[in-house]
Amino acid sequence: MKIGQVLRKNSVKMIMRAREEDRLTIKRNTVLFMGN
């Protein structure tokens, strides 16, 4: 395997994880905002 492919796979995983975390934080913020 080439190093570039490994880095790309890792970055994709990181991006996916970050997106999931962003979705959770956005949901949490919306709940807090709606609560107020």
Residue 4's domain spans which residues?
Answer: 1-35
Residue 3 CA to chain centroid, in angstroms? 23
pLDDT, residue 1, reads: 58
pLDDT, residue 10, reads: 87
pLDDT, residue 22, reads: 92
Residues counted in the chain:
36
Q: Rounded distance, CA 1 to CA 20, Å?
A: 28
Structural domain count, the chain: 1
Q: Rounded distance, CA 35 to CA 21, Å?
A: 21
pLDDT, residue 33, reads: 77
DSSP state of 24: H
pLDDT in tens, 1-36: 588 888 888 888 988 899 999 999 988 888 887 775
